[in-house]
Chains A and B, each alone.
Chain A
Amino acid sequence: MAEPQLDLKKTYDAVVIGSGAAGGMAAHVLTSRGLQVLMLEAGKKLPIEEELRSMQWPYDNAYRGALPPDRHSLTLNEYTIRNPPYGPGFEKSKHLHSYVGSTDYVKNIVVDERENPFTGTNYAWVRARCLGGKTNIWGRLALRLSDYDFKAKNRDGYGENWPISYSDLAPYYDKVDLYLGITGVKENLPYLPDSIFQRPTKLNCAEVTLKESLGKMGRVLTQYRAGVTSDGLKHNQYRSRCFGRGACERKGGCDIHAAFDSPTGLIYPAMDTGKLTLRTNAVVREITVDQQTGKASGVQFVDSETMKDYAVRAKVVIVAASTLESARLLLLSKSRLYPNGLANSSGHVGHNFCEHIMGPGVVGQAKDLVGKPPTLDDGRPGGFYLTRFRNLTEKHPKFIRGYGFEGGSGSRMFPEGTDKPGFGAAFKEEVRKNQGAYISMGAFGEVLARYENYVDLDPAVKDKWGVPALRFHYKFGDNEHRMAEDMRETAQEMFEAAGFNIVHVSTHVLTEGWSIHEMGTARMGSDPKTSVLNQFEQSHDVKNLFVVDGSAFVNASCQNPTWTIMALCWRSCDYLADELGKGNL
């Protein structure tokens, strides 16, 4: 792999801030269009295979796979009873992580909360500062949006429509499918368009029972649509096809990279073009502006290890730091010309912050599977996805928009049911007999984009590098809580209809942020007064500035955002390359 060094004297065609799904895609598209690209990543390049160790048995790990004892990861209870910043009170632990950082396999991937404080309302903010960001450990559910989402305002009058339609994005979804690989089954659903799928996974017996029962109710259960290559990718030498090793079930990632991650899927191939320069440990603190032209001129960053400051120049600045970090960076980039922060003449940067509400769900037991010989149930990237069924043809009286369920069933390396009361021979036998009979699912619902849900800069608190911290003003609203009530009821009803014993029904709504699906803080739109970006994720105010991550979303839909982030980014970067070529930027 060619690895050109950072050249401070050079003016790059484009500087990309962030190396996750969005940054990686920008690097891929722009280098393939012949541009000289500099990518800045705030974290390290980790020896990722050594971190993930996807096939390590728990008994071969010094902590049985758990977090080493000098570290702590925040629990749901701690998020509930404490307010940010979450550092104080955990002084005994050398490192403090978000709830995701609870295994030995992710401890160096997620950030230390104390180095990266934030303030305001409670939020389970999961951040990964390392090459590839959260794509190293993402859940892999790769769904498309449809005009039920892009034109949701036309259906219920709420919020804003996206400045694009499904037909604008469909060709780019296709490109993402083919370049990165996705497994799934065609369903021909207007509200959840199919991808170009590789070999699908299969459902196990409890899942088939549920699917058949749901079919009678007119609801659709389909195989987990995973951003995983099940057939392999001839054009990519860094990724293997999936071998169903089962590690998808635990908090970690895929060390053979069958599951998409940005470094092996996008960044290493981009480096092979010789046109990508990567600089890690680069904490960007400001996008600089030419005060004559009003255009972005480059960025200033601090080296995370040496604390030394650097300035780099580029013709185009591409922000891909993740929804909340991108908003933070725009707000940090204040100048005489842009006193409210860059690209913020609308005042909408940081606002319309939305995501998915989680918590309600159900655990059941397929009676006919109790006591059956053990089966291999986790040898696939995921179980099932139960698609949205609310507010498609009929209007729900209590809430707008929809939700879907992610679920799975069967045996795993660590059994279900050990939290039941009792002990002794009977307890042991119960765990053994029931281990393959469990089936469970949890909902992901659309949180409405609201101006009142926003982030801004804390006037006092700064991070380890002296950069002002984000302050949250964000709460689920009435529509979300009414939707959560419905999720709980329908989850139970559907499991009862399938003939499952109900083991547990979750009613509790998880802390804001739990879905790790932040969106909307620099939304697209056709009106510069009420939106930050145009349909190509280009700033209305600063034409050589693009924001290509989840912050561009106009609403959250109920589908997981990663595949849409990458399709949008591909489309925007194609436009960017065209415009740069024409001298329009």
Chain B
Amino acid sequence: MSTKDPVNLKQDRRQWLKTSATVIGASLLPLPAISSEVAAQTAPAQDKSREAKTASPFFTPTQHKMVEELSETIIPADSHSGGAKAAKVADYIEQVLRETVDDDQKSTWREGLRLVDLMSQHYSGKSFVDCSSEERIAVLTVLSGNEHLTDLPEVRFFRDLKRLTVRGYYTSKIGIHDELEYKGNRMLAQYVGCDDPTPKSS
């Protein structure tokens, strides 16, 4: 997955945005079809009225499934410990987005999920959830390799996805206890340090 020459995202995205009108029907994501980049950056009015109902879930079941796979691709299970899916990182992200007062962040996520699915269609002909883990890694590698292009909504989405996945994972039971094997946050009789080779009088 590590590429010396990252994909030129600005060039590639012209293609996958162009084909978006035709492939959107194949996408599992129930989002409005938007074919131009300009329109893609403005959240439609009907979305905003939906946001007003804060108690209802932010993600559709399909989107939730996609976020589970995205977060697991960021922090996967390995022989050492469970990954983001086991740590229920998607539930954490759902809560953050449901409760935030930052409408830009909500738009970033709605738009980001749509664009990543378009990318997935473009690179492997399948929606993100239907991809193999190698294919998922390939899509996120494109974004990771272009992390500095913050003017692109899919890049801003990737950065927030990674930030929230990291935060959700390393504050979870699996992240703290299984993965990092954190030893603190308990009553300690005496701190054990490195043996000081030049002990002082006290």
Q: Is the CB of A414 within 8 A of B185?
A: no
Chain-A contact segment, one of B30-38, B72-80, B118-126: B72-80
A203 at the interface (CB under 8 A from B): yes
**Interface-central residue, B170, B190, B193, by most chain A CB under 10 Å:** B193
Contacts of A350 in B (CB 8 A): none
Is A295 close to B, CB under 8 A?
A: no
- A203 x B194 contact (CB < 8 A): yes
- Contact residues of B between 142 and 177, Cβ < 8 Å to A: 144, 147, 162, 166-168, 170-173, 176
B201 at the interface (CB under 8 A from A): yes
For window 401-416 of A, CB contacts with B under 8 Å fall at 411-415
Stretch at the interface among B42-50, B61-69, B99-107, B108-116: B99-107
Is there contact, CB below 8 Å, between A203 and B193?
Answer: yes
Partner of B184, one of A69, A202, A379, A435: A379
Q: Are A65 and B197 in contact, CB atoms less than 8 angstroms apart?
A: no
The answer to whether A202 and B187 have CB atoms under 8 Å apart is no
The reply to whether B182 and A374 contact each other, CB–CB distance below 8 Å, is yes
Contact of A508 with B by CB under 8 A? no
- B172 neighbours in A (Cβ, 8 Å): 58-59
- By beta carbon, the residue of chain A nearest B88 is A59
| Contact A64–B168 (Cβ < 8 Å) | yes
Interface assignment of B200: CB less than 8 Å from any CB of chain A: yes
Q: How large is the interface on A (under 10, 10 to 19, 20 to 34, 35 or more residues)?
A: 35 or more
A425 at the interface (CB under 8 A from B): yes
- The answer on a CB contact under 8 Å between B202 and A200 is yes
Tell me the A71-126 residues at the B interface (CB within 8 Å): 92-93
Q: Does A55 contact B (CB under 8 A)?
A: yes
Expressed in whole angstroms, the Cα–Cα distance for A411 and B201 within the complex equals 28
B135 within 8 A of A: no
Determine the chain B residues whose CB is within 8 A of the CB of A244 once the complex forms: 184, 187-188, 190-191
CB of A376 within 8 A of CB of B184, answer: yes
**A380 interface residue per 8 A CB criterion:** yes
A427 lies within 8 A of B183 (CB): no
Cβ contact of A432, chosen from B83, B137, B180, B194, cutoff 8 A: B180
Asked if A421 is at the interface (CB within 8 A of a chain B CB), the reply is yes
Nearest CB on A from B147, distance (A):
6
Is B5 an interface position by the 8 A CB rule?
Answer: no
- Find chain A residues with CB under 8 A from B170 CB: 414-415, 418, 431
Which residues of the partner chain B approach A414 to less than 8 Å between Cβ atoms? 170-171
Once the chains are docked, how many angstroms separate the CA of A422 from the CA of B102? 26
Question: In the complex, A200→B190 CA distance in Å?
Answer: 10
CA distance A435 to B140 in the complex (A): 24
Asked if residues B171 and A55 are in contact (CB atoms below 8 Å), the reply is no
Q: Within the assembled complex, what's the spacing in Å between the Cα atoms of A416 and B83?
A: 18
Contact flag A245-B188 (CB < 8 Å), given A186-B202, A415-B170, A428-B76: yes
Minimal beta-carbon separation of B84 from chain A (angstroms): 9
Evaluate contact between B202 and A197: CB separation under 8 angstroms: yes
Q: Does B55 contact A (CB under 8 A)?
A: no
A52 at the interface (CB under 8 A from B): no
A490 at the interface (CB under 8 A from B): no
* A66–B193 alpha-carbon span in the complex (Å): 30
**Residues of B contacting A59 with CB < 8 Å?**
171-173, 176
Across the interface, do A378 and B184 meet the contact criterion of CB distance under 8 Å?
Answer: yes
Which of these binds chain B: A205-213, A323-331, A462-470, A514-522?
A205-213
Asked if B51 CB lies within 8 Å of chain A CBs, one says: no
* B191 and A69 contacting across the interface, CB-CB below 8 Å: no
Contact status B74-A427, CB under 8 Å: yes
Assembly CA distance A200 to B101 (angstroms) = 46
A54 nearest in chain B by CB position: B185
Residue of A nearest to B168 (CB): A64
> Given A424-B1, A424-B137, A425-B78, A374 and B194 touching (CB < 8 A)?
no
Known: A202-B196, A418-B166, A424-B74. A380 touches B176 (CB 8 A): no
Whole-angstrom distance between the Cβ of A430 and the nearest chain B Cβ: 12
A429 within 8 Å of B (CB atoms): yes
**Chain B residues positioned under 8 Å from A70 (CB to CB):** 101
Partner of A246, one of B144, B166, B171, B184: B184
* In the assembled complex, A31 has its CB within 8 A of some CB on chain B: no
A182 CB contacts on chain B under 8 angstroms: none
A278 CB → nearest B CB, Å: 32
- B140 to chain A: which residues have CB within 8 Å? 423-424
Instruction: Tell me if B186 counts as interface (CB < 8 A to partner A).
Output: yes
Pairwise interchain contact B194-A69, C-beta atoms closer than 8 A: no
Residues of B contacting A415 in the complex (Cβ-Cβ under 8 angstroms):
170, 180
> B195 CB to closest chain A CB, in angstroms?
8
Determine the distance from Cα of A66 to Cα of B202 in the docked complex, in whole angstroms: 39
Closest to B54 in A: A69
Chain A contacts with B in 17-69, Cβ cutoff 8 A: 55, 57-59, 64-66, 69
Residues of B close to A429: CB separation below 8 A: 78, 80
The closest CB in chain B to the CB of A247 belongs to B185
Is A201 on the interface with B (CB-CB < 8 A)?
Answer: yes
Least CB separation from B137: chain A residue: A424
Chain A residues whose CB sits within 8 angstroms of the CB of B201 once the complex forms:
186
Which residues on the B side are within 8 Å of A208 (C-beta)? 193-194, 196-197
B194 touches A204 (CB 8 A): yes
Q: Is residue B192 within 8 Å, beta carbon to beta carbon, of the partner chain?
A: yes
Contact of B99 among A69, A185, A202, A205 (CB under 8 A): A69
| B179 on the A face (CB < 8 A) | yes
Name the 7 nearest CB pairs between A and B, nearest first.
A202-B193, A244-B188, A58-B171, A205-B194, A246-B184, A376-B183, A69-B99
Q: A58-B171, A92-B101 are in contact. List 19 more A-B contacts (CB 8 A).
A: A59-B173, A64-B92, A65-B171, A92-B102, A93-B101, A185-B200, A200-B202, A202-B196, A208-B197, A244-B187, A244-B190, A373-B181, A374-B182, A376-B184, A376-B191, A376-B192, A411-B180, A412-B184, A425-B76
24 contacts between A and B (CB under 8 A): A55-B186, A64-B167, A66-B167, A69-B99, A69-B101, A185-B202, A197-B202, A202-B194, A208-B193, A208-B194, A243-B187, A245-B186, A374-B182, A374-B183, A376-B192, A411-B184, A414-B170, A421-B144, A423-B73, A423-B162, A424-B137, A427-B74, A429-B80, A432-B180
